Amino acid sequence: MGKYYIDDRYNDLLNLVQDKMSYAAHDFDHVLRVYQLAMFLAEDEESVDRDVLIPAVLLHDIARRLEDEDPTGKTDHALVGAVMVGKILQELGYDEQLISKIKDCIASHRFRSGSPPSSPEAKILYDADKLDVIGAVGIARSYMLGGRHGERMYLDIPLAEYMAKNVGENGRIKDVAQHAANLEFELKLKHIPDKLFTAKAKALAKQRLDFMYSFFEVLKQEIDGQR
Amino acid sequence: MGKYYIDDRYNDLLNLVQDKMSYAAHDFDHVLRVYQLAMFLAEDEESVDRDVLIPAVLLHDIARRLEDEDPTGKTDHALVGAVMVGKILQELGYDEQLISKIKDCIASHRFRSGSPPSSPEAKILYDADKLDVIGAVGIARSYMLGGRHGERMYLDIPLAEYMAKNVGENGRIKDVAQHAANLEFELKLKHIPDKLFTAKAKALAKQRLDFMYSFFEVLKQEIDGQR
């Protein structure tokens, strides 16, 4: 699937990533989607080094499972991932300067931590990864996670009231059984376009959000038995 | 949520159902959605006895958890549910003739077993329950189940090839990790309109399927990094 082919010389990285990925939202399929998007965004950006971008994309979530499975919630998969990737690429004999650039992309791909992405490759990885949270993919992904965690399908509650009830000061959801994808959309996902760097990603994000708005509108009508 | 109000005299049934429902696809929210749809369908049908329809709707999946949790796969929640509902309504002092009609609706609401629905109330329950599997609700529901069972988001494989590989003679999916909502749609959900009884449900089903076709089309474009 996908338009952009992954060169055979990345087979060792692909095999390694397949072994280490987490479940549902951050599985190997996520890596392949981010790869397709990153290649699509790269077409419109100048001076993108694909020898940096491609390994960074393939390896960006390598430590995600460690974060997901850490009961203390303190593991940051971007920072831990960058360190892991440094070791992996050294063992595979990658050039030190290249390794440093790839690590930099991975360390800065996360929303909430690390320094913001600065290189063209880091910006593309960041944008592609965020785009994968919205649109039809974002809907499917939200519900896959929702089903896994025991969330509700839809909750018709004003956002301010919801936040007062179920969102802690740290932004954490207190009770997942009182959470739903439409609230995740209102709380977080619809603000994604403001956080992107490349013009092409911003345009795609707007289109993907429009699709989500209409999805939740139709969903509400159906739930109300009016469609 | 929902346009149709549930009369207070059904509070005892509602409490009882909330206790007994299963997870995700067949939770209490499903019952409330089916209620909204059933009331909407009932508006266009003649001589519908709501004293039969409403308890039948509220109680129709009462044995679903027993089926979901039966490792032998032999429990039929429609037939077991009808028996359970008979006892519940007797204890609550319902009229015997009414109980018999309600049991009949529940026994015939399932796709694959029991006799087909014959009364107007049984047809409405059947149709409302099937509509809840498609549309935006069907997408959300499929992915909630998919995330719970470890399915993939999307698989781009011709249906005949998929069936040869992953569908047993009994129609069961062999490996859920090689199943995805778009294949569930191709295999089963898109045939729902042919199985419905009321004209209004058929029209709604067509509209809901159109929405699913466009969802999966957009999803595929996004996964291919082209949108």
Whole-number average pLDDT of chain B = 91
State the best of A153, A156, A198, A208 to mutate against chain B, taking most chain B CBs within 10 Å: A153
Q: Decide if A218 and B226 are in contact by the 8 Å CB cutoff.
A: no
Contact state of A29 with B4 under an 8 Å Cβ cutoff: no
Q: Which 3 state secondary structure label does DSSP give A119?
A: coil
Q: How far is B112 from chain A, CA to nearest CA, in Å?
A: 25
Tell me if A174 is assigned to some domain.
Answer: yes
Note the pLDDT of residue A114.
Answer: 64
Residues A101 and A181 in one domain: no
pLDDT at site B170:
82
Contact B224 A36 (CB under 8 A): yes
pLDDT band at residue A171 under the 50/70/90 scheme: confident
Chain-wide mean pLDDT for chain A? 92
Question: Which of A98-102, B139-143, B148-152 is predicted least confidently?
Answer: B148-152
CB contact under 8 A, A225 and B153: no
**B147, B207, B225 member nearest A144 (Cβ):** B147
Distances (CA, A) of B200 to A71, A110, B40, B56: 50, 48, 9, 20
CA distance B174 to B77: 22
CB B81 within 8 A of CB B62: yes
Interface test with B, best of A21, A34, A144, A219 (most B CBs within 10 A): A144
The range of the structural domain enclosing residue A46 comes to 1-112
Whether B37 shows a pLDDT value over 60: the answer reads yes
The CA distance from A65 to A28, in Å, is 12
> CA-to-CA distance for B172 and B226, rounded, in angstroms?
34
Residue A24 has pLDDT above 70, yes or no: no
Closest residue of A to B209, CA-based?
A227
Got the DSSP string for A74-114? ---HHHHHHHHHHHHHHHTT--HHHHHHHHHHHHT-SSSSS
pLDDT digits (tens, 9 = 90+) for A50-108: 999 999 999 999 988 888 888 888 888 888 899 999 999 999 999 999 999 999 999 99
Question: What is the model's pTM?
Answer: 0.91
Domain membership of residue B126 (yes or no) is no
* Chain A, chain B: beta-carbon pairs less than 8 Å apart: 139
Give the ipTM. Answer: 0.90
- Considering only the beta carbons, identify the residue of A136, A152, A222 that sits closest to B29: A152
Residue A127 domain-assigned? no
Question: Is the pLDDT at B25 greater than 70, yes or no?
Answer: no
B128 lies in some domain? no
For residue B117, the one-letter residue type is P
Give chain A positions within 8 Å (CB) of B28: none
Torsion of CA B33, B39, B44, B48, to 10 degrees: 130
Judge contact between B52 and B65, C-beta under 8 A.
no
CA dist A36 to A39, A52, A202, B215, Å? Answer: 5, 15, 16, 19
Residue type, B120: P
Structural domain count, chain A = 2
Partner residue facing B225 (CB), from A39, A140, A219: A39
Under an 8 A CB cutoff, do A222 and B143 touch?
no
Contacts of A141 in chain B (CB under 8 A): 153
Contacting residues of A for B29, CB less than 8 Å apart: 152-154
Statement: residue A111 has pLDDT above 60: yes
Q: What's the confidence (pLDDT) of residue B181?
A: 97
**What does the pLDDT read at residue A166?**
94
Q: Which two tokens stand for residue B145?
A: 């189940």
pLDDT at B24 over 60: no
Structure-block tokens of residue A196: 């992107």
Min Cα separation A161/chain B (Å): 16
Task: Return the closest-CA partner of residue A139 out of A178, A104, A182.
Answer: A182
A91 assigned to some structural domain = yes
d(CA A104, CA A48): 15
Determine contact, residues A142/A160, Cβ cutoff 8 Å. no
B35, B207, B222 member nearest A136 (Cβ): B222
φ and ψ of A173, to 5 deg: -75, 125
Q: Can you state the percent helix, strand and coil of chain A, rounding each to 5? A: 65, 0, 30
Task: Indicate the DSSP class of residue A196.
Answer: -
* B2 and B103 both lie in a single domain: yes
Residue of B nearest to A227 (CA): B204
Chain A CA closest to residue B138? A219
The answer to whether the beta carbons of residues A150 and B23 sit under 8 Å apart is yes
CA dihedral A114, A119, A121, A123 (to 10 degrees): 60
Cα–Cα–Cα angle for A115, A121, A123, rounded to 5 degrees:
50
B208–A227: do the CB atoms touch at under 8 Å?
Answer: yes
Q: Which residues in chain A are contacts of B184 at CB distance < 8 A?
A: none
B112, B147, B170: which is the final residue of a domain? B112
- pLDDT at B172 exceeding the cut of 80: yes
The reply to whether B152 and B222 lie within a common domain is yes
Q: Is residue A25 part of a domain?
A: yes
* CATH number for position B85: 1.10.3210.10
Judgement on whether residues A59 and A2 belong to the same structural domain of the protein:
yes
Cross-strand partners of A173: A167
> Are B34 and B140 within one domain?
no
Looking at the fold, whether B17 and B76 belong to one and the same domain comes out as yes
A99 and A165 share one domain:
no
Q: Are residues B146 and B222 in the same domain?
A: yes
Higher pLDDT, A110 or B141: B141
Residues B7 and B74 grouped into a single domain: yes
List CB contacts of A162: < 8 A, sequence separation 6 or more: A155, A183, A186
Q: Are the beta carbons of A1 and B224 closer than 8 angstroms?
A: yes
The per-residue pLDDT for A134 is 98
Q: What is the pLDDT of residue A21?
A: 72
C-alpha to C-alpha distance for A30 and A17, rounded to whole angstroms: 11
Confidence of residue B79 (pLDDT cuts 50, 70, 90): confident
**% chain B with pLDDT above 90:** 74
B1 pLDDT higher than 60? no
Whether B26 has a pLDDT exceeding 80, the answer reads no
User: Which whole number is the average pLDDT over A31-56?
Assistant: 95
Residue A126 in domain = no
CATH number at residue A212: 1.20.58.1910
Q: Which of A79, A112, A145 is the last residue of a domain?
A: A112
B12 or B114: which carries more pLDDT confidence?
A: B12
Determine the Cα–Cα distance for residues B223 and B217; give it in Å rounded to an integer: 10
Q: Classify the phi-psi angles of A2: left when phi > 0, otherwise alpha if psi is within -120 to 50, otherwise beta.
A: left
Is residue B207 within a helix (H) or strand (E), and if so which, with residue range?
helix B199-223
Cβ–Cβ gap A222/B141 under 8 Å? no
Same domain? For A89 and A17 the reply is yes
Whole-number pLDDT of residue B98: 97
Residue A24, Cβ neighbours under 10 Å: how many? 25
- Residues B105, B6 share a domain: yes
Closest CA to A26 of A59, A73, A48, A75: A59
Reported as a pLDDT band with limits 50, 70 and 90, residue A156 is very high
In a domain, A154, yes or no: yes
Higher pLDDT among residues B19 and B195, named by residue: B195
Determine, for residues B223 and A137 on separate chains, whether the beta-carbon distance falls below 8 Å.
yes
- What's the token pair of residue B210? 């159109």
**What average pLDDT does the segment B159-164 reach?**
94
Same domain, B185 and B223: yes
CA distance A124 to A105: 9
> CA of B161 to nearest chain A CA: how many angstroms apart?
16
pLDDT of A75: 87
- Tallying the residues shown for chain A, one arrives at 227
